[in-house]
Amino acid sequence: MTSIQQEQRLGIMSAMAEEVDSLLSELSNHTSEVHGKRTYYKGRLFNKVDVVIVFSRWGKVAAAATTAILIERYNCQEIIFTGVAGGVQHGLNVGDVVVANRLVQHDMNATPIFKRFEIPLLDVTEFSTSDCRREQLTKAANKFVTDGAGLSIMTTYEQRQNFHIANPKVVVGLAASGDKFFASKEDLDQLRNDLPECCCVEMEGAAVAQVCHEHDIPFSIVRVISDSADDSAHVDFQEFVKEIATVYSHGILELALTASA
């Protein structure tokens, strides 16, 4: 008797409720359950992919707890996290996209017992994202920011002007995570000194990465740059999430998942 291969389930997380709400409009045959004060939505996304979508809330602990539930309770075999980040790499601007190839916890410091940034007992300082999915997401992000059916259609010229978005680009590189919002030049300069390869800084990705690593689950992290992570990080954050970041995550995921389904 020939066995039928079961479709793999994808977990999609965001630290922004607006991003989740946007995806729910594309979720068919869905049900919802509440666990740990989070609502998990099951269904088919873009009529293509079996998913569980959840708003993780902010910070490493919240992200780790949510990831564990996606894996253990919902049997998700892969995780994608979308959201915003502060730009660290020189030349990154608001509206640019970072597709992470590695994640590090910038606030992990168990010296002198372990090396700086090393995760105790795991013997790693960085976690690598899924090669195959990273390639898909990078291709989708590039298409979204340059193609006439992507960003330029899903947002208005006035919206892009308001947030100074012009000729956005996509980079692949190191993302740093920690329970800190960067809003001073001094802190940003220190981060650049500590992690010179860092492209962006956020608050959840490396925690998701660690849980996935410990469960042998592939994961991906996609971030749109919302600010410069220094004294000039005064962008209207809520408006940016609503008008820009939500559109990015929705558009990039749709392009990536419909192409790979």
Strand 78-87 vs strand 198-202: parallel, antiparallel, or unpaired?
antiparallel
Q: What tokens appear for 120 in the block? A: 């105790």
- Find the helix or strand (DSSP H, E) in which 193 lies: helix 185-194
175 strand-pairing partners: 103, 200
Handedness of CA 90, 227, 177, 24 (dihedral sign): negative
Q: Please say if 186 is a catalytic residue.
A: no
- Buried b or exposed e, range 180-204, using 16+ CB within 10 angstroms: ebbbeeebbeebbeebeebbbbbbb
Of 135, 133, 138, 125, whose CA–CA distance to 210 is shortest? 125
Q: Please say if 236 is a catalytic residue.
A: no
For 147, which DSSP code?
Answer: S
Catalytic residue among 19, 26, 202, 254: 19
Is residue 119 within 8 A of residue 113, CB to CB? The reply is no
Q: What tokens appear for 7 in the block? A: 């479709």
Catalytic residue among 118, 126, 202, 227: 227
Q: What tokens appear for 36 in the block? A: 């740990």
| Distinct helix (H) and strand (E) counts, the chain | 9, 10
Strand 219-227 vs strand 78-87: parallel, antiparallel, or unpaired?
parallel
Active site residues: 19, 227
